[in-house]
Amino acid sequence: MTNFRSKITFILPGFVSIPMGGVKVVHEYANRLAHKGHDVTIVYPVITCSNPFIGGLRRVVKQVYDKITNVAAELYYTPDSRVTVLVVKKALSKYIPDGDAVVAVGWQTAVWVNCLPDCHGKKFYFLQHFETYFRSKKKVLETFRMPLTKIAIARWIINKLEELGETALGPLGNAIDPEEFYLETNIKNRPNDVVVIYHHMNVKGPKDIIAILKQLKKRQNISAVLVSSRKPVHRIPYWVKIVIRPSLEELRTLYNSSKIFLHTSHSEGWGLPVMEAMACGCAVAAYANEGVSEFLIDKQNALLAPVKDKDAVVNNVRTLLSDDLLRQNLAANGRNKVCQYSWDNIVERFLTILQTQIKHG
């Protein structure tokens, strides 16, 4: 089985010009599978909406905003040279290579993959989230009932599917590259108090970030850095430093310069940035959403609060800032926890699932 060289195609939900955790994960799989000798293709469809007018309008709005905010009109991630990258108009059969496996990434792509002929390979649905937070909730739920072999990264996603009478293989877990995110500075002495990743979507809790930071500032003089992939659409307090699309090295330095990573997402598939910050020695103050609860344990490697309980998060951050020994212990435990997750093991599990399913049709 392990000597079988597969032709694997990943279909992503659109052209991606900014950093996105789910897309980065797919590139990690693609690069590592290609390194093992498999024939891997990543497909980026330009048109992602069934309504051409609405889809075109969205693209124009995004292009204008990106031009104003200096977002490059090119793919953000550059995969390994052994990975084939196709930017196509739509995810139609004529644009997709024949193969052994075709993997839908995201609910939009599940619709496309379900319609593809069998020549493109066994059909899989790679679940990095239970994406019912979209406006098209009914359409999302319909994709879970499609005859695709589902693979999930997290146990909570599998549990959600089972509640619908569906099944998924896994959980695979998630990991970070230890050559990208690691400890560079002593945990004890760090100049910045709080670092946070911002996203404009309500499910990511952008308004919570602002409210929590304002409450903290009222009670004590704190410093904070906000990292964003695009210029924030919310009004950020003037005293918060905003860093847009930092390089990998810059992001690692920001993590290593900060005491606490603040995470306010209401729902998360896994929470990759949390692991990145933990690897760099940040203590975590977070909402206990389903994703981070896969690897965070309150008072063991983080301080967790009920989702949307901003006051509890404020108190947790204040506790970490006032109790330096607790902060250092949680940060050390967090780094140890991150080390338990290995990309080599995760990709091997993914490949075993693919090849077993291909073999048995």
**Amino acid letter, 66:** D
Strands 192-198 and 258-263: parallel
Plot region of 71 (φ>0 → left; ψ -120 to 50 → alpha; else → beta): beta
Spell out the per-residue pLDDT of the chain, length 361, in tens. 445 789 999 999 988 877 788 899 999 999 999 999 999 999 999 876 554 544 554 555 455 555 655 666 677 888 899 999 999 999 999 999 999 999 999 898 999 999 999 999 999 999 999 988 776 888 999 999 999 999 999 999 999 999 999 999 999 999 999 999 999 999 999 999 999 999 999 999 999 999 999 999 998 999 999 999 989 999 999 999 999 999 999 999 999 999 999 999 999 999 999 999 999 999 999 999 999 999 999 999 999 999 999 999 999 999 999 999 999 999 999 999 999 999 999 999 999 999 999 988 7
Task: Kindly state the tokens that stand for 349.
Answer: 């599990």
Residues 45-53: contacts with CB within 8 Å, 24+ apart? Answer: 45/11, 45/12, 45/13, 45/14, 45/15, 45/88, 45/89, 45/90, 45/91, 45/109, 45/112, 46/14, 46/15, 46/87, 46/88, 46/89, 46/90, 47/89, 47/90, 48/13, 48/14, 48/108
Is the separation of the CB atoms in 101 and 124 below 8 Å?
yes
- Rounded Cα distance between 23 and 13, Å, is 9
At residue 234, the 3 state secondary structure works out as: coil
Instruction: Classify strands 39-45 and 241-244 as parallel, antiparallel or unpaired.
Output: unpaired
Q: Is 126 exposed, middle or buried (0-12, 13-18, 19+ CB in 10 A)?
A: buried
The Cα 244–Cα 228 span in angstroms is 5
The continuous run of DSSP H or E covering 155 comes out as helix 155-163
3 state SS of 231? coil
**pLDDT score at 1:** 43
CA distance 324 to 330: 10
Domains and CATH numbers, the chain: 7-175+342-359 (3.40.50.2000), 192-338 (3.40.50.2000)
Alpha carbon distances (Å) from 222 to 232, 256, 318 = 21, 17, 10
